[in-house]
Structure 1
Amino acid sequence: MSSNSFTVKFPAKSKGLNFSQAAATKFKLVELTPELAKIVEAKDENALKNVTIRGKANDEAVLCTRTTTYCLRTVQLSNSFLVVTGEDAHSASSEDHIIRDTISELIELVPAVPKLERLGGLLKKNKYRADDEDGSDEDTMEAQQRPRRRFTYNQVRGLVQASDVELERGLREKRVLQMDGYLQPLPSTELTKIISYILTLIPKHSWSPAGVPLAKLTSELLYEYEVPKTITRQVCEWFGLVEGDEGKEKWVIDQEKVVTEVGLGVLQKLCAEAKPEKDILTEWKDLVGDQFESIVRMDLLEGNFLDITDPQYASRAGPRFKYFPASGLPAVPAERFKDLFLTKTSWKGPELTPFLQDIAVEKKERDRLLMKFTRTSTDASGIVWYSSRAKY
């Protein structure tokens, strides 16, 4: 028997195998991941409702569960499959088997990085401004000439190709507020101010980072600094855990997250010029205060700075860094590597990796991208360097 032949066995009473005379039906064969297989086998209607295809009509399709985003890849099969059912209205006999479709390809689901870059474009014109709170600028010429389409969470959920968990995490990481049902990014300058107010109040009232009284904190920020309570609460949820009964809630601070945010504020002032590491650390420690200065270290800011130290003077002057965020780089791998190698012609492995983590979910995928877009060389001291395969 040849490798392409096959045998179909039917019950003895079966009389035929026929193609359907009804309107053609197209089937797709999907290879389920373990996560999806459990959802389907459990017949959990709520979980199945969260399995959706997301994005605009011209996007490459992705499938999302509540927690994971998958890209859909078509794999050609060496042998075709027949989709066979029982009789239909056009069959000659009640014992006929009807071929509904022939399948020669399989849809494979591969874990993918959520495509959150669209958030920036959708919400760009909707940044929170303190003067919006009282509507004081609504009648100004600037406001009238500033058309804005405001987005709710559900509207963004349908447009952004990410699972619910990934989207919610992305909104937190991009510091997006929910105000009166609409999404509004909180500008970094405003967030830095709020964090600095909080870091002032904590030692003033001898509050423990393990349990800051939320009601007192929101009241203090409202009356002393005019920060709305709803904003304070959301900022606290970004940087820790709010727990306890209503009216007695405590904010358990994620101290590294708070310290990191202050460090980003220091770095963001270094877009045009570099600064010695020791000066960055000194300013950073001064801003977080004695209670948190022991947490300060440069690795908290990986993926947000560029080392432009001149090797000739490194031993004398120490490292010099400037602001260079991965979030500002293209999401398409080819364009990402082009920007990276136009910025620096050679990168050490530990320097390069933080700028790839948001475009490759797994180490295996990052290694594949490195093989595709880079060349490696090892210097006399054993350090591995990456340079571009392409000429830019």
Structure 2
Amino acid sequence: MSEYTLHFSSKRGSDDSQYKLMELPKELVHLIEKETQDQFTIRGRDDDDAVLCTADKTYNIRAVMVSNSFCVLTPPNGDEPGDAVIRATIDHILELSPSIAKLHRLRGMLRGCEYDEDSDGRGDRERRMLKVVKSELQASDAELEAGLRDMRVLVLNGELRPMTPGYLNHVLELILNTLVSLSRSTDGAPILDIIETIQSDHEISPDVSRQIMSWFGRIDSSLSAETWIMDVDAVVRQIGIGILSAYRSSSIEQSEFMKRWRTTVGDSFENRISLSLLQGNYLLTDQFATTSPALSYFPSSELPISPADRFAELFLVQPKWKAADIVPFLDDIVVDSKDKDKLLMKFARSITDKDGVTYYTSRGGTIA
């Protein structure tokens, strides 16, 4: 065994803050061992808790005290004696844990940048560039891209423009009608045919049409002509959300809503509508036996991301939830299904009625 003569650096106290040890999960170790081009970045604003982002995942960073301190050794410099110099003593390590992408502030950042038929590139408005937003949000590039798609945000010349639900519905209806009028299949429609028809007949920008089609299906470039394989359920779902979004502070009878939804998607797609497609976006009320159930718009994407605040909000608007109804409102604040179970155990109590139906209520609440 080799022996070394150790000496303490005269600057050891001031050097302590210059060194940090980070414990890497196995998946990150594998990335490093593969010597890939993936970069690790620390993202967020100065007042945010730090997160580390890879190309497609986000990790929380937490300082954890250790019982045995670590010494940082370096070769001596200049006139320093010995074989190695103790530069710093470290009594904590940085621990990484998988996290959901923190995109909650994106909607607020893009307020005033909406894109619709009255503001499609004209007039004074706030401007948010993708490069700036990326630096402020705590999410990997892949998660941010998915978030922009899920929030229906256009990227036009580097500028972010969220589409209003009404205008998005309008364009989707045009796409569906064009598919039917051109007798094109949802399993592989030529993109150019659809884009050119919509541009010619309705003056919809090709860039806008293409991005919308990429949100609601897959673009296949393997053939000589690009084709669009439509996700029918995703399109039908979005049209349902668009209709429902008009009833944020009011409600609409379920039967009337289903009728409007069916009429909007048309005969070719009406067999695909189902209320289950809208889970996590509505409240269903049936307060009086003489009335039919009513729906109101209640999107999980606009609820707090803090689990405690999320449950408080859910039980404030509805003190008693069926298990199948509350779970979709947790999808965007957990990493996996195990975390959902943990949150339900922590913030809610379950009750099973005589018919075998499980309900959740607040841990401090009572059953109505």
Shift of 1:222: 1.2
> Where does structure 2 lack aligned partners over 5 or more consecutive residues?
none
Scaled by the length of structure 2, the TM-score of the pair is 0.91
Shift of 1:347: 1.5
Cα 1:90–1:332 change in 2 (3 A) is farther
1:38 maps to: 30
1:27 maps to: 19
Distance 1:336 1:352 in 2: 11
Residue 286 of structure 1 pairs with residue 286 of structure 2: no
Distance 2:8 2:256 in 1: 77
Distance 1:90 1:121 in 2: 57
Residue 331 of structure 1 pairs with residue 305 of structure 2: yes
User: Could you say what secondary structure the match of 2:193 adopts?
Assistant: helix
Q: Is the 8 A contact 2:236 2:273 kept in 1?
A: yes
User: Could you say what secondary structure the match of 1:355 adopts?
Assistant: helix
2:38 maps to: 47
Q: Is the 8 A contact 2:165 2:245 kept in 1?
A: no
The correspondence of residues 276-355 of structure 1 with structure 2, limited to 5 A, is 276-310=253-287, 313=289, 319-355=293-329
User: Could you say what secondary structure the match of 2:238 adopts?
Assistant: helix
Alignment partner of 1:75 out of 59, 64, 82 = 64
Deviations 1:152-192 (A, max 9, x none): 22211111111111100000111111122211111111101
> Where does structure 1 lack aligned partners over 5 or more consecutive residues?
1-9
Choose 1 or 2 for highest CA Rg: 1
Cα 1:133–1:289 change in 2 (3 A) is closer
Alignment partner of 1:367 out of 341, 345, 350 = 341
Deviations 1:11-62 (A, max 9, x none): 24x3x32222245153222121122111222233x213xx100011111111
Aligned residues: 363
Q: CA RMSD in A?
A: 2.3
User: Could you say what secondary structure the match of 1:281 adopts?
Assistant: helix
Distance 1:216 1:297 in 2: 30
Distance 1:18 1:367 in 2: 53
1:155 maps to: 132
Q: Is the 8 A contact 2:7 2:81 kept in 1?
A: no
Residue 244 of structure 1 pairs with residue 205 of structure 2: no
Shift of 1:151: 2.2
**Amino acid of the structure 2 residue aligned with 1:60:** D
Deviations 1:64-100 (A, max 9, x none): 001101111222222222223333335323x3x3222
User: Could you say what secondary structure the match of 1:102 adopts?
Assistant: strand
Alignment partner of 1:273 out of 218, 227, 250 = 250
Q: Is the 8 A contact 1:373 1:390 kept in 2?
A: no
Distance 2:315 2:72 in 1: 50
Distance 1:343 1:90 in 2: 71
**Amino acid of the structure 1 residue aligned with 2:278:** L
The correspondence of residues 251-270 of structure 1 with structure 2, limited to 5 A, is 251-270=228-247
Q: Is the 8 A contact 1:266 1:284 kept in 2?
A: yes
Alignment partner of 1:64 out of 47, 53, 58 = 53
Distance 1:243 1:380 in 2: 51
Shift of 1:134: 6.9
**Amino acid of the structure 2 residue aligned with 1:18:** H
Runs (4+) of structure 1 moved beyond 6 Å?
A: none
Alignment partner of 1:196 out of 173, 190, 198 = 173
Q: Is the 8 A contact 1:21 1:90 kept in 2?
A: no
Cα 1:215–1:246 change in 2 (3 A) is farther
Shift of 1:371: 2.7
1:186 maps to: 163
Shift of 1:390: 4.7
Q: Is the 8 A contact 1:309 1:321 kept in 2?
A: no
The correspondence of residues 115-264 of structure 1 with structure 2, limited to 5 A, is 115-133=102-120, 135=122, 138=123, 143=124, 148=126, 150-244=127-221, 248-264=225-241
Distance 1:118 1:342 in 2: 23
Distance 1:134 1:259 in 2: 27
Distance 1:154 1:134 in 2: 19
- Percent of residue pairs bearing the same amino acid type: 36
